[in-house]
Amino acid sequence: VLKQILTESGKFRSGICEAPNGSSLLTLSPFDLVIVDTALATGSDTEKAVAAFVAAGKGLVVTHTALYSSQVPSYSPLGAAGGSEQPVGFLDVKLARSSHPILRGMPGGFRTPDSLPQGVFARREADVIATLELSGRAVPVLAVSPYGKGRVVAVALGHDASAMHEPQLRAIMARASEWAASGAVTVPPAREPALPSDRPLKGLLITGGHDHDAAFYSLFSGYSEIERLPVDTAASAYKNDLRGRYDVIIMYDFTRDLDETGKKNLVDFLQSGKGVVVLHHALLNFQSWNWWSEEVVGGRYRLRKEGASSASTVKDNQQIYANPARSHAVLARINPFHITDEAYKNLFMSPRIRPLLVTDNPTSDTNLAWIGPSDRYRVVAIQLGHGRSAFEHPAYRTLVRNAVMWAAGRTD
């Protein structure tokens, strides 16, 4: 978490040393900052090296974890009595010295779920800049002190990952690190969530009618570009005019038929320039709506024999070697990849589709992913995607993300 905070600040490149014993000043010399997040034995070579490092003008941050040790270095502005852990509770932190560079521009305080080591105290040379009230006593939780030519910060907060998730504490960790390393603070007071430069994308995810692993939804985690992605069923979603409400509809449902209202709303949505991504068993959708399979998707899993064409077949746990078939935004950063997934074969397939991914697996149709047959509609169909082996595959995740972005009109 500490490394993530440093990286997100954009100010640091960092490494982690999990076995610091035996470190020398030479080991530390390439760095501007050391964060001590463990016990350093008093008088050990490492403790002496850290002291010499800071004294020479570098920075040091001593964390909550380091304060649990009975051997907090003498140059830390905070120490602790040691002993058992306190239960986590809601603590009201007071940022007392708002003029200090680490706290400048931050609110006067914040409430956070955390726990402190027993008996935290400030050393004589320490400048305490944040405190909290515990049993009627002001306990120091953030303090700074000079050491030689260097700067030391001790942060008593940060007991677990939830505490370290609090935006105010993350800002303090990043700003304290920058201050210790350089004497100045440029990291903004509260981390603003990264917003995309253009309007956030609104998607609608359709599921239902076919069981699937819950891990499917993990495909859409971590998309900063998507502002809203509600989940609905075909039975209720298509009752409404969807133009203006969504940029893209992602189908992972199995819906045999659609009423006239539903058909009209889907037609209007596509004709207004919005996109559709059809995933895996959604290729079974709307079996008797020919316009849908012939003009929009360009493919359909045949549930039964149709004239001279036999029904489509399905086979799980196939070793599929997928190859990109053209250069396209949906294939950005996709190289040939191997995936264990369910294969569909003998689908109805329009001769006008534009293949994206192909395979020579004999239990599968050649086309694994394609662009729909009509230039008028932004439609991507992806045959892959039965279960976890697909949802967790980095190439499949990238493929679905690229498809959503392209269908929504965000890439060319």
Toward Zn ion, which CB reaches closer, 23 or 367?
367
Toward Zn ion, which CB reaches closer, 104 or 388?
388
Toward Zn ion, which CB reaches closer, 159 or 386?
386
Report the alpha-carbon distance of residue 157 to residue 166 in Å, rounded: 11
At closest approach, how far in Å is the CB of 31 from Zn ion? 51
Which amino acid is residue 347, in one-letter code?
Answer: L
At closest approach, how far in Å is the CB of 159 from Zn ion? 44
Pairing of strands 378-382, 299-300: unpaired
Of 385, 405, 386, the C-alpha closest to 395 is: 385
Which range in 96-104, 186-194, 321-329, 338-346 contacts Zn ion by CB under 5 A? 338-346
Of 345, 321, 318, the C-alpha closest to 395 is: 321
The answer to whether the CB of 402 falls within 8 A of the CB of 334 is yes
Toward Zn ion, which CB reaches closer, 47 or 342?
342
Toward Zn ion, which CB reaches closer, 149 or 388?
388
How many residues form the binding site for Zn ion (CB under 5 A)?
2
At closest approach, how far in Å is the CB of 352 from Zn ion? 26
Toward Zn ion, which CB reaches closer, 393 or 410?
393
At closest approach, how far in Å is the CB of 387 from Zn ion? 7
The answer to whether the CB of 326 falls within 8 A of the CB of 356 is yes
Report the alpha-carbon distance of residue 154 to residue 376 in Å, rounded: 61
Contact between 386 and Zn ion by CB under 5 A: the answer reads yes
At closest approach, how far in Å is the CB of 169 from Zn ion? 44
Which range in 79-87, 150-158, 172-180, 385-393 contacts Zn ion by CB under 5 A? 385-393
Which range in 146-154, 198-206, 221-229, 342-350 contacts Zn ion by CB under 5 A? 342-350
**How would DSSP label each residue in 40-84?**
--TT-HHHHHHHHHHHTT-EEEE-HHHHTSS---TT-SEE----S
Toward Zn ion, which CB reaches closer, 317 or 366?
317
List Cβ neighbours of 177 (8 Å cut-off, separation of 6 or more): 5, 6, 9, 11, 12, 33, 35, 59, 61, 153
The total number of residues written for the chain in this structure: 412
In the complex, residue closest to Zn ion by CB: 386
Which range in 99-107, 111-119, 340-348, 401-409 contacts Zn ion by CB under 5 A? 340-348
Phi, psi at 352, each rounded to 5°: -95, 0
Contact between 342 and Zn ion by CB under 5 A: the answer reads yes
At closest approach, how far in Å is the CB of 280 from Zn ion? 6
Residues that bind Zn ion (CB under 5 A): 342, 386
